[in-house]
Chains A and B, each alone.
Chain A
Amino acid sequence: MSKAVRFAPLALLVAIIAALVWRLATPVDTDVHSAMEGKQIPLFKLPAALPSKPGLSSSDLASGEPHLVNVFASWCVPCVTEVKVLQILKESGVPVEGIAIRDRADDLADFLARNGDPYERIGRDAQSEVQIALGSSGVPESFVVDGKGVIRYQHIGPIERSDVPLILTKLEQVR
């Protein structure tokens, strides 16, 4: 047996170990990214989730100025902290629109009374239909939609306090 053949199994072993170590060090991104970024927001018209606030439709978003569309729910735990960050964004002049997934009016009113209410409108998406149409795979998720109603950025997971500059930049870029 030649020397190269004799060392082939060892080389293979080293290669496999190197691949495993590399994968452990840089884990796979398991987030499902929407393929709708850069595309027109699908047509929808959601009824009001609360009697005191209008519902949300796609035409509300093509109003000439950029919007932040937040997909959330009162039963979603990370949404509790996110809604306070959305308040900060609202105070710096960002129009925040809500899509409440599988929610009930009294639960939602309770959630907003307890954690603050940054939303201009909230649409009720009782069967996740609009969520699926947007290519969103969970709560919370947010979309930056420009003045023409084109989805320009998807934020997966809660918007943390440290994400505020990023979101403001994304909104500024599409203005």
Chain B
Amino acid sequence: MRRLFIFLAICFAQPSLADSSLPAAYWSNRQLPDAKQEAQAQALMEQLRCLVCQGQSIADSDAELAGDMRDLVRRRIAAGEKPSAIRTWLIQRYGTWISYKPTTEPAAWPLWLAPLALLLIGAWLLRHRIRLRKR
């Protein structure tokens, strides 16, 4: 009785009703027949952020919207569109947030300049230590 109750409680929990009852889009969990195109699609999907499970890529996410986005990416790649064009199209919709690839916008400049700055600090520290040892 208790087990049945728990089973029913799990079946009717809200999250299980929070998805649609339509099947997944055709290309969402199916590879493209052309291996080269599939590789392109896979590389792009790994760089696109899922809108539902923020922090996962659409290649990893099980969300329905991520499935629909994988379908969109594969269909467009199969139609001959370039991955960069698909990324640009999505950025026009959702902003740079959707792409994991860092941009060259001013907001990302500290990211690009950090390695250079760390290298310079390292060189300065090294010079300081070598001088100390000489004395």
Contacts and interface: CB of A to CB of B under 8 A. Distances in A.
A77 interface: yes
A132 B72 contact: yes
Contact of A128 (B18, B68, B91, B92): B68
B17 A35 contact: no
Interface in A109-153: 126-129, 131-135, 137-138
> Would you list the 8 A-B pairs with minimal beta carbon distance, nearest first?
A102-B20, A135-B93, A137-B51, A128-B68, A35-B95, A102-B22, A127-B25, A75-B20
Interface of A: 30, 32-36, 73, 75-77, 101-104, 107, 126-129, 131-135, 137-138
Contacts of B93: 34-36, 132-135
A132 B54 CA distance: 16
**Chain B interface secondary structure, helix, strand, loop or mixed?**
helix
B20 A35 contact: no
B65 A137 contact: yes
Interface in B1-31: 14, 17-22, 25
Given A77-B18, A137-B65, A138-B65, A35 B25 contact: no
B94 A35 contact: yes
B19 A75 contact: yes
A138 to B, nearest CB: 7
Size category of the binding interface on chain B: 20 to 34
B94 A137 contact: yes
B64 interface: yes
A36 to B, nearest CB: 6
B112 to A, nearest CB: 23
Contacts of A135: 93-94
B20 A138 contact: no
B51 A104 contact: no
6 contacts: A32-B97, A35-B94, A102-B20, A104-B22, A128-B64, A135-B94
A32 B18 CA distance: 19
A134 B89 CA distance: 11
Given A102-B64, A127-B68, A132-B72, A138 B17 contact: no
A35 B92 CA distance: 6
B19 to A, nearest CB: 7
A103 B25 CA distance: 13
B21 A75 contact: yes
Contacts of A131: 65
A158 B21 CA distance: 21
B128 to A, nearest CB: 15
Q: Which among B69, B91, B93, B97 has the greatest number of chain A C-beta atoms within 10 A?
A: B93
Contacts of A34: 93-94
A122 to B, nearest CB: 15
